[in-house]
């Protein structure tokens, strides 16, 4: 799924697979814990939706502030992601 695509109310199989895999890697690749990582990925999805909505609003603001130029959606999205990450740190 492209970074700025609408994720929808339910996680895609691919999103869950990618997130569970990341969680597995981060926890040291333990054997026999696939279900735990999958369940955690499912629990994290609502937080991801909230984050995605915040990035989407920030990207919209940036796009409007720059006069709504065409073809800059990826740069606006990347800048919005950084903006939201900074807000989360502060």
Res 88: pLDDT: 84
At 90 the pLDDT is 77
User: pLDDT at position 31, please?
Assistant: 94
pTM exceeding 0.85:
no
Q: What is the pLDDT of residue 11?
A: 73
Phi/psi of residue 23, nearest 5 degrees: -65, -40
The helix/strand/coil state of 28 is coil
Residue 1: predicted pLDDT: 43
Phi-psi region of 67 (alpha: psi -120 to 50; beta: other; left: phi over 0): left
Please, what sign has the CA dihedral across residues 29, 33, 39, 43? negative
Q: For 30-89, how does the pLDDT look when each residue is reduced to its tens digit (9 = 90+)?
A: 999 999 999 999 999 888 889 999 999 999 999 999 999 999 999 999 999 999 999 888
**pLDDT on residue 19:** 93
């Amino acid at each position: 799924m492209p970074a700025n695509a609408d994720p929808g109310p339910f996680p895609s199989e691919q999103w869950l697979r990618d997130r569970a895999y990341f969680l597995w890697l981060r926890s040291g690749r333990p054997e026999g814990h696939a279900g735990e990582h999958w369940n955690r990925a499912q629990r994290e999805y609502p937080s991801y939706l909230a984050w995605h909505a915040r990035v989407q609003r920030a990207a919209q603001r940036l796009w409007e502030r720059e006069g709504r130029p065409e073809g800059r959606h990826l740069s606006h999205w990347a800048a919005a992601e950084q903006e939201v990450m900074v807000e989360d740190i502060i």
